[in-house]
Structure formats: structure tokens, C-alpha cells
Structure 1
Amino acid sequence: MTLSEEARDRLADIVELQPTKNGELQERWGMESGSDVHQYLENELGEHYYRNDDSLICATPEAAELVDVEPGIVSGDDGTTTAVRVPRLQARIVEVLPTADEDGDSVVAVLHALRDAYDVDPSTDDVRSALQALKRKGVVEAVYTTVPTFRLAVDRDELDVAISDE
């Protein structure tokens, strides 16, 4: 099956963002709903993606070769994430989050750290979503106390972060 240019571009997005959710693809692709994303995946990219054990969307290895895009995550021999390609907000969050041996920060604390460090003003929902995406990629861990807090799951010096086009 030959892919259209749009389908190739969207497959490249999946490779870059994997593991990802319908909502992330909906935002990236400018679709109205997660159902629209699901329909597109089934109709246009059915043989090029799968859902992992957590129901997250991943590209097949053949799909990654087909679009010649580096995966969004690279893991070391021990399984820890060593490189990620993420949107600018997520890259900035990696820079301001506490390290694995420190107490985590709440979503609001991360928001304030971003405002202080970068003079940006993302919404709380955007920060929460970015933290969850980084958690799925193995870069961030959540510590559940009265309020969930987040900190790096990997050593900042051992992580290569590249910014993807937004």
C-alpha cells in the first residue's frame, strides 16, 4: 500500500511522538476529536502502527524505516531513556524539573519554574499534559503524595533532548 504525502507526514509524527495518545495526535494533526484520529489510523495507517500494552500508539519498526525519522525515544542497554525528541515545552520542563534525588514539584510549581526561567505562560493543562507525556517516555516519574509531584527519572547529564517541530 502506497502512502499519500499526508499519511507519510502523519506516520512520521507517530514515530517521533511514540508512545503517544489519540489526544496528542489530535492536537498535532488539527483534528476535531480522538475518534477522528482513530478512524484515520485505522483507515490510512492500519498496517503501520500498533497499540502497546498500555494502549499507547506506536509505529512498527518497518514504519520507522519507511519515513526515515528518528524515534522519539532512545533507550540504553539498561532500558533507561537516553534520548528524546520532544516539543519545546517538554524540553523546557526537563530543564526546570528537580532531579531524581530531589523532592518533586507539583504541576503549579513546574508552571512557575517555567515562567521564571523562560518568560513563558503555558496553561496548567498544557504543563500537566507535557509532564504526562514525559512520564510515558520514561523521562519523568510521578510521586503520588497529597498532590502528585514530578521529578526527572533519569540523570539530566545522561539525557539528550532534541526539540521537535511544533
Structure 2
Amino acid sequence: MTTDPALSEEEIARLADVVRLQPTKNKELQDAWGMESGSEVHQYLEGELSDYYYRDDNSLIRATPEAADLVDVEPGIEGGEENGGVPSVIRVPELESQVFAVVAGPEDRSESVVSVLNGIRGAFNADPPVEDVREALQSLRRKGVVEVIYRTVPTFRLAAQREAIDIEVTDD
């Protein structure tokens, strides 16, 4: 890890969040940083971290390779080239790991957010809010390990075999 003397401790910490959460959206960073709006996140990124991030073809926020060198965290995803674009390793908070463990497999019928919530309740004796489960599914979708199937309501299933992806739980 090298450090950029032009970046404050707060900027380094927030840059680490971008590296760890990528690919991410303003809303995820807003929640992580305790900001009032996605607009405030955008202004911060442009004003303080513009040299260290970019938006991909889907407008998701990603860290530059230089950003990853500046912070002492592993990127949120690794691999994907050899697995049809699906990452081989993802680093996620505990709820996302629980969602990953119970969501339908790639050959199974996709399931609703409520069905995934019920799976978490049964497998982990936990009762997260349904909105948190929805956000976890969307985050896993952005990471490329869950796909959405649109029926009457959006439903979800894994994009690859569960065994093909290593899940590492972060402290968040």
C-alpha cells in the first residue's frame, strides 16, 4: 500500500469503501458514509476522489487500479474472466452472505425477496427487514453473482453454481 499525501485520512477511508464495495451506487456509499443524498455522494466523489474512481457502462461506481494500490483493502470482487463473467470471489457483509447461501441456485426457479427472507429466517434464525434483503439481492446482482428474472415481481437466483464462488464476509 502506498499513500497519496494529497488525500486526508477521511478520503483514504472513503476511497477504501469505494474499492471494497465496487461495483456500487451512490445509495450504497450514501449509507456507508452517512450522507443525506446521492447528490452529496456524487459531489464528494467529483470534488475529492475524481482521480480514483470511474463509472462503468452501467453507471456503477468502480475504483481505478491506482485507488486499489492506495488503500489496504481487497476489491469487492475478483475473477470472472474464466467463469463466464461471474466473479470467483466476492467480499460482502454478513447479510449478503446469508442471502447468497439461501437464494435459489442457477438451475432452480427464481424466487421473490420475501421467499429469500423466509430462507434466511429458517437457515440463520435471523429476521432482517425486507428492504435490507432487497438491497442485499441488488448488491449481489451488481456484483454479477445473482441474476434477476422478471415475472409478476422481480425474482432472483444465482448466476453460477454456489461452489464456483467464494464468499468472504467483511466487517460491515
Q: Structure 1: how far apart are the matches of 2:38 and 2:128?
A: 22
Aligned to 1:98: 104
Q: CA deviation at 1:18?
A: 0.4
**TM-score w.r.t. structure 1 length?**
0.96
1:93 Cα deviation (Å)? 0.4
Whether the 8 Å CA contact 1:139–1:154 is kept in 2: the answer is yes
- CA deviations 1:36-95 (Å, max 9, x no partner) are 111111111111111111111110011111113211011233332111001111010010
Corresponding residue number in structure 2 for 1:84: 90
Q: Quick one: distance in 1 between partners of 2:29 and 2:80? A: 26
**In structure 2, what is the equivalent of residue 68 of structure 1?**
72
SS of aligned partner of 2:88: strand
What's the counterpart of residue 41 of structure 1?
A: 45
1:108 corresponds to 2:114? yes
Name the % identity. Answer: 57
Q: Is the 8 A contact 1:81 1:137 kept in 2?
A: yes
The question of 1:145 aligning with 2:125 is answered: no
**Code of the aligned partner of 2:27:** G
Listed as ranges, the gaps of 5+ residues in structure 1 are: none
Give 2:168's aligned amino acid.
Answer: A
Aligned residues of 1:85 and 1:163 also touching (Cα < 8 A):
yes
1:117 to 101, 109, 123: 123
Kindly report structure 1 stretches of 4+ aligned residues shifted beyond 3 Å: none
| C-alpha RMSD of matched pairs (Å) | 1.1
CA contact 1:96–1:113 (8 Å) conserved in 2:
yes
In the alignment of these two chains, the number of paired residues is 166
Q: Does 1:17 align with 2:13?
A: no
Say if 1:81 and 1:154, in contact at 8 Å, map to a contact too.
no
Find the counterpart in structure 2 of residue 32 from structure 1. Answer: 36
The partner residue of 1:133 within 139, 146, 163 is 139
